[in-house]
Amino acid sequence: MLPEQQTHKCRDKNCTKRFFFLAAKNLHEELAHGLAPTASLEEPKENIRDDLYKYSCSRLYVGLLLLNANDPVKEGDGDRLIRFYNIYTFIFRMNGNDKYAYICLRLKARELALMSPRDFHRLKWNRFVNNHGGRAQNISLDLRLEHINKVTKALIKSQGMQNLTDDVSKTFQKPLEAWKS
């Protein structure tokens, strides 16, 4: 027998059933007695203005979308990343992040007109690298370039050079080519 405080009693007066799970109780009440569930996840009616509800929904949508953008990078899923860029083009534009919106738009233009299907296929799938092996361990090529730049800068500083120009850093990047591949 379950302890009484941990169970949910059926709301019907003539029924003595008790349930451990609230969902099971709700289902029993609905099927056996035709009672409506006590708590529902229905949206508020249209004439009621609920900014907190709307804010929470937007935050959840955007947050989940952003999580959805990190995952394809880890998995190396080019198709899913392109879908993310398509959706976020509008969100970037709405928030005034015009440079990001422009990059997304340029990607779309490349897909539709500027690149051959073969080249776009390469652009889509050649964006990730897996340094250590294993599933879902990819990082973006951009991030890898940042890692390489960090090593390059440390190398240059170790030589006592303070003024970095692109030409100087390129000279130092040459020995790193072997490490990159």
Sequence-distant (≥ 6) Cβ neighbours of residue 139 within 8 angstroms? 73, 74, 128, 129, 130, 131
Stretch that binds Zn ion, among 10-18, 56-64, 90-98, 165-173 (CB under 5 A): 10-18
Quick one: DSSP state of residue 19?
E
Stretch that binds Zn ion, among 17-25, 69-77, 88-96, 123-131 (CB under 5 A): 17-25
First to last CA, the chain: 65
- List the one residue from 7, 17, 111, 144 that touches Zn ion (CB under 5 A): 17
Q: At what angle do helices 51-75 and 78-94 cross, to 10 degrees?
A: 150
Q: Is 18 in the site for Zn ion (CB under 5 A)?
A: no
Shortest gap between Cβ of 90 and Zn ion (angstroms)?
50
Residue 10 has a CB neighbour count (10 Å cut-off) of 17
Size of the site for Zn ion (CB under 5 A): 4
Binders in 44-83 for Zn ion, by CB under 5 A: none
Give residues in contact with Zn ion (CB under 5 A). Answer: 10, 12, 15, 17
